[in-house]
Chains A and B, each alone.
Chain A
């Protein structure tokens, strides 16, 4: 296909730019959010000229990465305090509150809070394909994610890790191998402090690498159609296995070397840290290796399971245009069922609530709200009539009259008793209910009534629960 409208280079010429040009441009663009933060500081409330927001942003990424090794990520507070500390050092005469505001602004900028945390998307020119193409790079730097323990932590994305290690846009496996090669070289030359930084970077690569493999396996589990198991994944798996075998081999040598250093009398603290870092990598790689060996089975099982599964592909769904927009033009008649369905999913399953007798007793024994003076009725002594100051004596008298109709040789429904109580004196209904509850689940004193539950639900304006069958306890 020849597009004559677009000026092209003669076919004999090499392309204007090589592939590395595109990678470099993309790497450059990934620092843009940091520059934007710095450039936008004039618009902030107050004079922020003493603060280097670019530097603080990079420090934020470093802090997060420092916590990503053994912990799941850094908490927002850890990052905030660290940045505030740095901000105060650059402007000692300002308040601590301002330093915290600066810290918050930096983190919000890196999360892209202004744009609902969507990926940063920046256009660039790509001349690598012999003609000009307008392309876009989309990336995130920091992300807030839920940790398994339920806390929410900040994590650095692959792009941010690249910023941290000062690398351009490199293949993760290559970078991983390179980091370990540099590490070996630094160890040979005895540069232990530098080696610690390199080992951290190597461990990050290892985390990134495992993340990439895990994503493919998760996608497989979720919807096998998203993953190309005929060409891409087998290649990925065999490459990954080869990569890991190399890493484990290198790490074995590194561990031997560093162990030797740790034993020496003049070994500084760096040697111990190094050993921990490398051994951590080793462990990760062994786990990943085992995971890869199981991956093939995952695929076969999923293929079997998903063969007949018809899943609606909701992954290309535009909530605003496809759902919210059309719904705004609907009336109750034709829109209510759809929003109701959405709500039931959004709110999740609600286990049906049955009224527990214990809750009802608590509820009934609560002091009345409103104008009634609070009364002292802490202990649920339902039968000890003399000690209760909550109900007037008249109510007790009525309740006793109602309860007196409970036959010795039969049973009467709680609903019937409640109706009778209300008919004679409304205040006594509560006492009748309490007496029935006490008969059903005696707490302290032995009741002179007994109550059984045959499953029928109480239909009463005031009380919920079961319509108990109340009978008289035969005296022993």
Chain B
């Protein structure tokens, strides 16, 4: 099947990847994008070419559909990988763990069952709901372990770190404190919005967000299993 390709096809494949690097761009809104997506769906040789070019660049193609366009993820260590140090300035290791957990929790809240990962309807999540969701999970662990949260000799398991933080703290000007869990969750949602993975729908419940199709594709096709493998590897090491 790879015989019919011409050099111009490499240009087309690279262009499709270029579109994918602009996550807010949709096939309907850019000239030629929809045609390239259609070609990606129907022409296996072209799809393989796209995969190969992506691979060389340090990108992983997850899916291409007429609504979201092409959905790609960074390969580990590639130049396209968002750096954790850029996520937010001056974070300690423990802070990073909690920020990362919040991202996992947003996905877990929005997609409660395996079936919900394969649906294609839009899911919502709010800052308040995700905060309650994580806190409840941490409280269950506290009950199971029966340990006081504040015991300084205990190692910093994520649930302890989380419970040590306040959900909210009153600030003089009515804003939520950035180091509270509510503030961190809000920050995570805003980063997803900036990355073209979510949109804000309402200011209620601390901010309510709509998680876009592209986000679910990333979580389903790669995020969940890659993180799981990483976890298993860390535990074996």
Residue positions of A touching B, CB distance < 8 A = 113, 116-119, 140, 143-150, 152, 221-222, 294, 298, 301-302, 304-305, 312, 314-320, 322-352
A341, B231: Cα distance in complex, Å: 10
Closest to A303 in B: B44
Which of B8-16, B72-80, B169-177, B179-187 is near enough to bind chain A?
A: B72-80
Once the chains are docked, how many angstroms separate the CA of A215 from the CA of B87?
38
Which residue of A116, A304, A341 is within 8 Å of B76 (Cβ)?
A341
Question: What residues of A have a CB within 8 angstroms of the CB of B231 in the complex?
Answer: 323, 326-327, 330, 334-335, 337-338
Contact B47 A305 (CB under 8 A): yes
Given contacts A315-B117, A348-B23, A348-B196, A146 and B234 within 8 Å (CB-CB): no
With the chains together, A145 CA to B123 CA distance in Å?
A: 9
CB distance from B92 to the nearest CB of A (A): 8
Given contacts A323-B231, A325-B137, contact A149 B28 (CB under 8 A): yes
15 A-B residue pairs with Cβ-Cβ distance under 8 Å, sorted by A, are A117-B124, A119-B115, A145-B121, A317-B225, A323-B108, A324-B101, A324-B105, A324-B108, A328-B137, A331-B158, A334-B234, A339-B101, A348-B74, A348-B196, A352-B79
Beyond A317-B220, A328-B159: 10 further Cβ-contacts under 8 Å?
Answer: A143-B121, A146-B213, A320-B137, A322-B228, A328-B137, A328-B138, A328-B141, A337-B230, A346-B106, A349-B59
Tell me which of A117, A317, A336 contacts B93 (CB under 8 A): A336
Q: Are B141 and A339 in contact (CB under 8 A)?
A: no
A328 near B234: Cβ-Cβ < 8 Å:
no
Chain B neighbourhood of A347, CB < 8 A: 82, 103, 191-192, 195, 197
Binding site for A on B (CB under 8 A): 1, 20-21, 23, 26-29, 34, 41-42, 44, 47-48, 59, 63, 66-68, 72-74, 76, 78-82, 84, 86-87, 93-94, 96-97, 99-101, 103-124, 137-138, 141, 155-159, 162, 191-192, 195-197, 199, 210, 212-215, 218-228, 230-231, 233-235, 237
Which residues of chain A are near B74, meaning CB under 8 Å? 344-345, 348-350
Inter-subunit contact A335/B97 (CB<8 Å): yes
Do B108 and A319 have beta carbons less than 8 Å apart?
yes
Assembly CA distance A153 to B237 (angstroms) = 47
List of B residues within 8 angstroms of A222 by Cβ: 63
Query: By CB atoms of chain B within 10 A, which of A318, A322, A331, A346 has the most?
Result: A346
Q: Which of B67, B87, B109, B115 contacts A146 (CB 8 A)?
A: B67
Q: Is the CB of A319 within 8 A of B104?
A: yes
8 smallest A-B Cβ distances: which pairs? A339-B100, A345-B223, A349-B80, A338-B231, A342-B227, A143-B121, A319-B108, A332-B93
Judging by beta carbons under 8 Å apart, are A314 and B234 in contact? no
Shortest B63–chain A CB gap in Å is 8
